[in-house]
Amino acid sequence: MKIKKLIVESLQEAVEEVRTLYGSEAMILSTRVIKQKLFPFLPFPKRSRLEITIGIPDREDFAQELKKEENIYQEISRLKENLKEVMELVKRQKVEGQDLRREELEGEFSLRAIHLMNKLINRGVSKDVALKIVESVCGYDFELKRLDLKGENYESLIEGFSKNLKLVEDFSQEEGGFSVVALLGPTGVGKTTTIAKLAYMYKKAGKKVGLITIDSYRVGAIEQLKTYANIMELPFRTADTPLKLRERIGELSSMDMVLVDTAGRSQYNEIKVKELAPFFTKLPTLRAFITLGANTEERVLYDIIESFSIVQPSGLIFTKMDETGYFGTVVNVAYRTQIPLYCFTTGQRVPEDIVMANYEYLAKIFLEAS
């Protein structure tokens, strides 16, 4: 684009002159008022005139700029595609190295058994765990001369999970039982909303439920659970010391179940985690559940379990199942620790997004994801 300056008497004159001299493609970029001497050799008098700056597009330059822009957009598009490929590679990095090759097990297992193993592996189940689960539901096929699944994939997975993973038994049905259910775990894993979901579920099942929070660290924690309690018309208490917790449990002893919310703590802050121990010692009816995020790296999950096992865990809760497509960590952790699974949360809605642990649900999400 070429730049020109003109001095005129008015803006109207400027528009007309620009169109006449440079055509309709020329643009007025700026204007300013200037003082101009009537006589060059005298300082006065002066008159006001208008100085305009115009831009005249150069057709060749315009074409070149347009071509450059098109090249830039093409390059951006290529970068996006490359980034997408990189992200897919990162996602599959863990599982691709474990993916079973047919030639490795073809002499021992049928193709559909190997295919089912790979379905598990592709969703994050470790190779040895997948092999164990599938092997446990195979029988020897004399025609194939290999181990083959006894049923279809869905039934086989249900049976395989039932033989290798433990579930928490439904203690709420125990006659005359009184239970204190506490949720332990790191910050931000969703303990409070999970407590609310469990409270609604048990109340709907006809149980008398009370709520207690010992979370005095997080801003708004007490108000959040209190709000849920008011909506569901449940008794609510707070306790900030082990003694007060026992007193509050005593006040709610007419309930079938008391759910206790705890403050989140980093699994690597040993001192803070140990502060929880005095709250739950010598509570014979206690059932402590470690709450884990399903989207957390597996190595970190083992650190969390080890840290929060200061109280004997009765089971595991996995939250944020809707935030991952790789459920294998759930199976790996449950298989290796042999700690029973209690429930899964599948979203942020209260009270809807919760599923009590069952083998059918696990089989379904693995096969649907595949």
The DSSP 8-state label assigned to residue 265 in this structure reads: -
- pLDDT band for 211, please (50, 70, 90 cuts): very high
pLDDT of amino acid 358: 92
Share of the chain above pLDDT 90, in %: 24
In this model, does residue 97 exceed pLDDT 60?
no
Whether residues 36 and 108 fall in one domain: no
**pLDDT for 94 beyond 70:** no
- Higher pLDDT, residue 291 or 74: 291
Asked whether residue 185 falls in the same domain as residue 327, the answer is yes
Q: According to the model, what pLDDT value does residue 334 have?
A: 93
Same structural domain for residues 110 and 7? no
pLDDT at position 15: 79
**What is the reported pLDDT for 276?**
86
Q: Looking at the structure, do residues 230 and 199 belong to the same domain, yes or no?
A: yes
Q: Answer yes or no: do 151 and 193 share one domain.
A: no
Q: What is the pTM of this model?
A: 0.70
**pLDDT band (50, 70, 90) for residue 96:** very low
Range of the domain at 189: 171-369
**Domain assignment of residue 17, yes or no:** yes
Contacts of residue 350, Cβ cutoff 8 Å, sequence gap at least 6: 193, 196, 197, 200, 228
Indicate the residue type of 31: T
Same domain, yes or no: 241 and 209: yes
* Mean pLDDT value of segment 197-212: 91
Residue 95 binned pLDDT confidence (cut-offs 50, 70, 90)? very low
Which is more confident, 301 or 285?
A: 301
Rounded to the nearest 5°, which phi and psi values hold at 141? -100, 115
62 lies in some domain: no
The answer to whether residues 27 and 55 touch, using CB atoms and an 8 Å cutoff, is yes
- Overall average pLDDT of the 274-301 stretch: 88
Is a pLDDT exceeding 50 seen at residue 237? yes
- Considering the domain architecture, whether residues 38 and 148 belong to the same structural domain is answered as no
Lowest mean pLDDT among 64-68, 120-124, 148-152, 197-201: 64-68
User: What is d(CA 138, CA 150) in angstroms, rounded to the nearest whole number?
Assistant: 6
- Say yes or no: 142 and 229 in one domain: no
State the pLDDT at residue 92.
Answer: 54
331 within domain boundaries: yes
Domain boundary among 164, 185, 210: 164
CA-CA distances (angstroms) from residue 350 to 228, 231, 343? 9, 11, 15
- Report how many domains make up the chain: 4
Domain final residue, candidates 164, 184, 216: 164
Residues 259 and 154 in one domain: no
pLDDT digits (tens, 9 = 90+) for 152-180: 889 988 999 999 999 988 776 665 678 89
Q: Across all residues in the chain, what is the average pLDDT?
A: 81
Look at residue 7 and tell me whether its pLDDT is greater than 90. Answer: no
Cis geometry, peptide bond prior to residue 57 (ω within 30 degrees of 0): no
Q: What is the pLDDT of residues 294-320, one digit of tens each?
A: 999 999 999 999 888 888 889 999 999
Asked if pLDDT for residue 93 goes beyond 70, the answer is no
* pLDDT for the residue numbered 280: 85
Domain check: are 199 and 298 in the same one?
yes
**Cβ atoms within 10 Å, residue 281:** 11
Per-residue pLDDT reduced to its tens digit, 26-51? 777 777 877 776 666 566 666 777 78
pLDDT at 264 over 70: yes
pLDDT of residue 69: 65
| Alpha helix ranges (H) inside 152-241 | 153-164, 191-204, 221-232
pLDDT digits (tens, 9 = 90+) for 174-186: 656 788 999 999 9
Where residue 188 falls (left for φ over 0; alpha for ψ -120 to 50; beta otherwise) is left
Convert the pLDDT of each residue in 326-337 to its tens digit.
889 999 999 999
